[in-house]
Amino acid sequence: MALLVQKFGGTSVGTTERIEAVADKVCRFRKEGHDIVVVVSAMSGETNRLIGLAQNIMEEPTPREMDVLVSTGEQVTIALLSMALQKRGCEARSYTGSQVRILTDSTHTKARIRQIDEQRMREDLTAGRVVVVAGFQGTDEHGNITTLGRGGSDTTAVALAAALKADECQIYTDVDGVYTTDPRVVDSARRLDQITFEEMIEMASLGSKVLQIRSVEFAGKYNVPLRVLSSFQDGGGTLITFEDESVMEQPVVSGIAFNRDEAKLTISGVPDTPGSALNILKPISDANIEVDMIVQNVGADNHTDFTFTVHRSDYKRAKEVLDQVARDLGAREEVSGDNKIAKVSIVGVGMRSHAGVATTMFEALSREGINIQMISTSEIKISVVIAEKYLELAVRALHSAFELGEPDAEGQ
């Protein structure tokens, strides 16, 4: 019999009826003799509702109080699910993150897990109880409540699975696995039976929110078998694997990820001297703003242009910082910006051994009349920045160009 960590996301516990359905499922596994630790998210919409309440009071609440507030969502679901399990004669106990002693650093709203004391969970499991743990939250060394960033319950589940050396970490959600792209955007998207950790990390970091990126990194680092499955229907879902040598022919492109949360800033006509990139980007990083893609033009006339992207929520602040930089550096032109852009990426380990992938991508976008504003590549991905209004068209065009869909759906 196996030790399983099963995580149920917001939609899967969105109503008391759904919580009862989750309890039915967990009881079935328990009756088969498995030891079960369940991790749950807040009921769908609850975390956003709580953030909204805080913003009614002040625009930028202190991160410590935000964590005290948003961690309450998960506390509701652990209690309700434990009740539903007990009603079915399935012994269960709920625990908040601090009760399990999920110790994190003190970076409120995006804390990292440092240590987990699995002793208490083991005692419950030995006594035949299902352990129900609140996702997304922990406590720092001073006893302050912390949270792990949006989507962080995935990371709680993987971290518990690693600490307990579980046989599998199962992420139950509202889709039945990882698809070639978001099935809500492309009807013909196809479920993958397997995807490598490397690809999943890229997909997650480039915008596929089906798994929080940290959860995938954590699972890769600690060798946790990780699977994404549907809460609502049976099936094997998608297994995240280490690169499988037995697969003779990898598809060149495995998936398409996209991200709307992007904004672009350009500083033009700055003197092209050693240290100019540093002079431009250091004030941005000092303001705690993360930079994603960076492009510097080849200088002409001893001057150059510099463009980079930031998270859309940082756009206004980044523009203010950059305006000051432009004044300090004596830039010849005004800073310009655009916060209606999106990033589309193709991902695949097969790209390592294939030429011509970029050409296929650029051809597909050009056929649709979509202008590419920025490009960045790595060994297993190509990302482009385009106008946000063309995002869905671009994703569909690329999905079809790389023949990722169900053959019937795309007429192949």
Binding status of residue 383 toward ligand ADP by CB under 6 A: no
Residues 268-327 that bind Mg ion (CB under 5 A): none
SS3 375: strand
Shortest distance, position 39 Cβ to ligand ASP, whole Å: 9
Could you identify the residue written with the tokens 């209004």? Answer: 389
The option from ligand ASP, ligand ADP, Mg ion, none interacting with 181 (CB < 5 to 8 A, set by class) reads ligand ADP
Residue 151 binds Mg ion, judged by CB under 5 A: yes
Rounded distance, CA 236 to CA 270, Å?
55
Taking CB positions, which residue lies at the least distance from Mg ion? 151
Number of C-alpha atoms within 13 angstroms, CB side, residue 141? 3
Residue type, 74: E
Residue with tokens 């994190």: 104
Residues 167-186 that bind ligand ADP (CB under 6 A): 173-175, 178-179, 181-184
Closer by beta carbon to Mg ion, 124 or else 202: 202
Task: Choose the one of ligand ADP, ligand ASP, Mg ion, none that binds residue 82, judging by a C-beta under 5 to 8 angstroms depending on kind.
Answer: none
Q: State yes or no: residue 47 binds ligand ADP (CB under 6 A).
A: no
> Cβ distance 240 to 192 under 8 Å?
no
**Nearer Cβ to Mg ion, position 172 or 308?**
172
Minimal CA–CA distance to 282: which of 300, 263, 262, 308?
308
46 binds ligand ADP (CB under 6 A): no
Give the residue among 70, 153, 138, 67 at the shortest CA–CA distance from 104: 138
269 Cβ neighbours under 8 A, 6+ residues apart: 303, 305, 331, 332, 333
Whole-number minimum distance, CB 179 to ligand ADP, in Å? 4
Residues contributing to the site for ligand ASP (CB under 6 A): 9-10, 41-42, 47, 73, 135-136, 150-153
Q: Which residue is nearest to ligand ADP (CB)?
A: 9
Residue 199 makes contact with ligand ADP by CB under 6 A: no
Cα–Cα distances (Å) from 167 to 3, 135, 253, in that order, read 5, 19, 30
Residues 6+ apart with CB under 8 A from 369: none
Is there binding between residue 152 and Mg ion (CB under 5 A)?
A: no
Indicate the residue among 77 and 276 with the shorter CB distance to ligand ASP: 77
What residues make contact with ligand ADP under the rule CB under 6 A? 9-12, 41, 151, 173-175, 178-179, 181-184, 208-210, 255
Kindly list the residues in this chain that would bind Mg ion in the complex (CB under 5 A): 9, 151
